[in-house]
Amino acid sequence: MDRSTSASSSSRLSRSRSWWSMTAKETLAGYLFAAPMLLGLTVFILIPMISLFFISLTKWNFIQGLSGVEMVGLDNFRHLFQDKTFFVSMFNNLKLLLAVPVALFLSLIIAIVVDELVYFKGFFKIIYFMPYISSIVAVAIVFQILFHPSQGPINGFLMSLGIENPPKWLADPTYALPSIMLIIIWTSIGFNMIVYLAGLQAIPKDLYEAAEIDGASKWRQFAAITVPMLSPTTFFLLITGVIYSFKTFDLIAVLTQGGPAKSTNVMVYEIYDQAFVNLKMGYAAAESVFLFAVILLITVLQFWGQKKWVNY
Amino acid sequence: MDQPLKPALPAHSSKPSSGSSVTLTRIIVTAIMLVVGILFLLPFIWMLSASFKTEADVFQYPVQWIPHTWNAIENYRTVWFGDPPFILYYWNSIKVSVMTILLSVAASAMAAYAFSKIKFPGRDTLFVIVLLTFMIPGQALLVPQFIMYRSLGLFDTHIGLVLLESFSALGTFMLRQAFMSIHTEFIESAKIDGAGHARIFMQIALPLVQPFIATYAILRFIWTWNDYQAPLIFLRSPELFTVQLGINRFADATGEYYSLIMAGTCSAILPLLIVFLVAQKHVIGGIALGGVKG
């Protein structure tokens, strides 16, 4: 407020104050330009974030409106640490993490082959990138049919190979999560490959030339130059992959709804289930606080790890 | 993006003796990768071919990659104009995506300009706060956002969905990087000529960062078009459903009509494919640049 008044009053003042008027204008312009974004972030992210902590301390059946709010202190969190279902969902998230290094490994190989060993590089980039840009819901529905236990083409193929009892995939508690992981790997290869390709371009070519002169084999060059020089990329992809993995929701919601027998119940789906199916807003908020803490921890590890592990 | 990605080849092919064997290896590896690539895309190929078939042929084994009986026109007509009508979901998705892109680009570009080209007290602190919001996972905010939306009347509206997806630190960050590459002299000399920031922003700064805006807008389109979680939670009326909710509803409603469901999934992916093929450089460049996910 007082900035705009000072701007208008200073314009009437002598020339020696014109510098002040300039800075006041500049300041006003700065705040005006930043205002929409700051306002949006405040209303749609910061205020919800603060309310989240408050809601997590309540027992709130949303149907009763504001009068349904009951302060329960840390009860939700006490309950949370004894809740088997929540532990299962957390454990499932940990199992899902296995997909990250597998996807990284495959992506690195594809990136190197596409970068150095093939014709029509641009064409291959498009092919391997396609699953990443495709709608995850559409992809999920397609895989649901492909994995169909009795009629699906995957089991059709396995049975034609003479396998009598192929797995029931998404309908079997043992295979459901691995099936989801397979889809996650398939969709994330494109993203990882593109980032790896960018990383590969950043390696100075004279390193390879020097190694060549020293008579280092291709394999030795890969192990001693490519892998260490790509370590910042790998680290970045590992962290984004891990965070992304903790956010898994769409595939589960479309394919399994956490089943069978909770075998694919991951944290975000569990939050969704508690909040919007069981209508336990307070409890779901407590679970969300936990999720937030986990992701924050990973992000902090990232800042710390960047300095420690990345050799460059 | 294609030009900077110069092959690392010279170092290898410059070996004098093995010229032809290198070419041969290259041809073999290309052939292998082609086979792997086709296997990789098999789910899409299956989807496309199933969408052209009669229902009875969908689960024939061995798979008929090229349908014996074509039923494509029938399938797609049923999906697009039947009940529930896909065309409505399409319209909803286009509406939400376009509004989100416009709002998101406008807010991000303005903030990015302020954070890079205007000097004002508290600027750097505010920018750090903006960046910090990037660490908050959207999934953790579903409960408070839902309660807020119910009480503000934003629940079950398209505008609510647009607002929810428009404000992100990512756009601000990406475009700030772009603005930083503009020389300050450009802006200083415009100021001396008497132009205010509004004019400098519209007439000088924005045109200079156009490619970055295009990249961000396209990535935002892909993310908004593909979003399932927010529409699932914040929309209730079927007539407001976006394509992602629509195909799932459609799959539930038609139950066993897999040929129709596949026509639906093909239709859902098609706009993404078109945008991707047309704006490939922007998509791949944007991903490589920021290494970002929605």
B280 touches chain A (CB under 8 A): yes
Nearest residue to A276 (alpha-carbon basis) of B251, B224, B234, B242:
B234
Contacts of A138 in chain B (CB under 8 A): 47, 244, 247, 264-266, 268-269
SS3 content of chain B, % helix, strand, coil (to 5): 75, 0, 25
Indicate the average pLDDT of chain A. 87
Q: What is the ipTM of this complex?
A: 0.86
Nearest residue to A88 (alpha-carbon basis) of A265, A227, A238, A308:
A265
* Residue A205 contacts residue A183 (beta carbons within 8 Å): no
The pLDDT score that the predictor gives to residue B291 is 53
Q: What is the pLDDT of residues B95-118, one digit of tens each?
A: 999 999 999 999 999 999 999 989
Q: Answer yes or no: is pLDDT of B74 > 50.
A: yes
Instruction: Determine the Cα–Cα distance for residues A201 and B290; give it in Å rounded to an integer.
Output: 15
Q: What does the DSSP 8-state code read for residue B70?
A: B
Q: What is the pLDDT of residues A205-225, one digit of tens each?
A: 899 999 989 988 888 998 999
Tokens of A116: 């150095």
Q: Would the CA dihedral through A27, A28, A30, A35 be positive or negative?
A: positive
B8:A116 CB<8 A: yes
Residue A185 distance to chain B (closest CA, Å): 11
Residue B291 β-bridge partners: none
Name the E strands within A81-189. Answer: none
Instruction: Give chain A's largest Cα–Cα span.
Output: 95
* Residue B114 contacts residue B123 (beta carbons within 8 Å): yes
B265:A30 CB<8 A: no
B31 touches chain A (CB under 8 A): no
Contacts of B2 in chain A (CB under 8 A): 122
Q: What is the pLDDT of residues A65-79, one digit of tens each?
A: 777 788 888 999 999
Q: Answer yes or no: is pLDDT of A194 > 80.
A: yes
Tokens of A194: 């593109």
| CA–centroid distance for A35 within its chain | 28
Contacts of A253 in chain B (CB under 8 A): 228-229, 232
Nearest residue to A38 (alpha-carbon basis) of B127, B170, B180, B144:
B127
Question: For tokens 């061995």, what's the residue?
Answer: B62
Instruction: Determine the Cα–Cα distance for residues B82 and B93; give it in Å rounded to an integer.
Output: 18
Q: For residue A121, which amino acid is it?
A: K
Give me the mean pLDDT over the B126-130 stretch.
Answer: 93
Q: What is the pLDDT of residues A38-57, one digit of tens each?
A: 999 999 999 999 999 999 99
Residue B115 distance to chain A (closest CA, Å): 8
Which has more confidence, A278 or B251? A278
B229:A249 CB<8 A: yes
- Number of helices (H), then strands (E), belonging to chain B: the values are 17, 0
A51:B144 CB<8 A: yes
Residue A59 β-bridge partners: A70
**How would you write A132-157 as a 3-class SS string?**
HHCCHHHHHHHHHHHCCCCCCHHHHH
Instruction: Determine the Cα–Cα distance for residues A260 and A249; give it in Å rounded to an integer.
Output: 16
Q: HSE, CB side, 13 Å, CA atoms: give it for residue B76.
A: 12
Who among A30, A124, A152 is closest to B37 (CB)?
A124
Who among A37, A237, A276 is closest to B167 (CB)?
A37
B70 touches chain A (CB under 8 A): no
Q: Answer yes or no: is pLDDT of A6 > 50.
A: no
Tokens of B209: 């960062």
Structural domains of chain B, ranges and CATH numbers in brackets? 10-81 (no CATH), 86-290 (1.10.3720.10)
The pLDDT score that the predictor gives to residue A8 is 47
Q: Enumerate residues 6+ apart whose C-beta is below 8 A from B180.
A: B116
Residue B67 distance to chain A (closest CA, Å): 15
| Per-residue burial over B217-228, b = 16 or more CB atoms within 10 Å of its CB, e = otherwise | bbbbbbbbbbbb
The pLDDT score that the predictor gives to residue A311 is 53
Residue A32 distance to chain B (closest CA, Å): 8
- Number of helices (H), then strands (E), belonging to chain A: the values are 17, 2
The pLDDT score that the predictor gives to residue B240 is 94
The pLDDT score that the predictor gives to residue B12 is 43
Instruction: Determine the Cα–Cα distance for residues A256 and A266; give it in Å rounded to an integer.
Output: 11
Return the top range by mean pLDDT from A266-275, B268-277, B280-289: A266-275
Give burial (CB, 10 Å; 0-12/13-18/19+) of B95. middle
Q: How confident is the model at residue A152 (pLDDT cuts 50, 70, 90)?
A: confident
H or E element that contains B197: helix B197-200
Give burial (CB, 10 Å; 0-12/13-18/19+) of B59. middle
Question: For tokens 């000399």, what's the residue?
Answer: B189
B247 touches chain A (CB under 8 A): yes
The pLDDT score that the predictor gives to residue A51 is 94
Instruction: Determine the Cα–Cα distance for residues B142 and B148; give it in Å rounded to an integer.
Output: 10
Q: Answer yes or no: is pLDDT of A286 > 90.
A: yes
B205 touches chain A (CB under 8 A): no
The pLDDT score that the predictor gives to residue A4 is 46
Q: What is the pLDDT of residues A90-148, one digit of tens each?
A: 999 999 999 999 999 999 999 999 998 889 888 999 899 999 888 889 899 899 888 98
Q: Answer yes or no: is pLDDT of A254 > 60.
A: yes
Q: Answer yes or no: is pLDDT of B263 > 60.
A: yes
Best residue of A4, A27, A33 to probe chain B, by most B CBs closer than 10 Å:
A33
| Per-residue burial over A142-164, b = 16 or more CB atoms within 10 Å of its CB, e = otherwise | bbbbbbbeeebbbbbeeeeeeee
B272:A135 CB<8 A: yes
- Cis omega (within 30 of 0) for bond into B62: yes
From residue B60, alpha-carbon distances to A272, B63, B67, B197 in Å are 38, 6, 10, 65
Q: For residue A267, which amino acid is it?
A: M
Contacts of A243 in chain B (CB under 8 A): 137
The pLDDT score that the predictor gives to residue A304 is 83
Contacts of A200 in chain B (CB under 8 A): 8
| Per-residue burial over A272-307, b = 16 or more CB atoms within 10 Å of its CB, e = otherwise | bbbbbeeebbbbbbbbbbbbbebbeebeeebeeeee
Provide the percentage of residues in chain A whose pLDDT is more than 70.
92
B186 touches chain A (CB under 8 A): no
| Per-residue burial over B104-120, b = 16 or more CB atoms within 10 Å of its CB, e = otherwise | bbebbbbbbbbbbbbeb
B248:A141 CB<8 A: yes
The pLDDT score that the predictor gives to residue B3 is 39
B110:A36 CB<8 A: yes
Contacts of B201 in chain A (CB under 8 A): 33
Instruction: Determine the Cα–Cα distance for residues A154 and A139; give it in Å rounded to an integer.
Output: 15
Who among A113, A134, A186 is closest to B269 (CB)?
A134
Contacts of B258 in chain A (CB under 8 A): 145
Q: For the domain A97-265, what is the CATH superfamily, name and number?
A: MetI-like (1.10.3720.10)
If you count them, how many residues does chain A have? 312
A153:B283 CB<8 A: no
Instruction: Determine the Cα–Cα distance for residues A286 and B109; give it in Å rounded to an integer.
Output: 35
Nearest residue to B232 (alpha-carbon basis) of B240, A186, A267:
B240
The pLDDT score that the predictor gives to residue B190 is 83
Q: How many CB atoms lie within 10 A of CB A39?
A: 12
Q: What is the pLDDT of residues B189-220, one digit of tens each?
A: 888 888 888 888 998 889 989 999 999 999 89
Which has more confidence, B107 or A161? B107
* Residue A282 contacts residue A72 (beta carbons within 8 Å): yes
Q: How confident is the model at residue A267 (pLDDT cuts 50, 70, 90)?
A: very high
B136:A160 CB<8 A: no
Residue A173 distance to chain B (closest CA, Å): 22
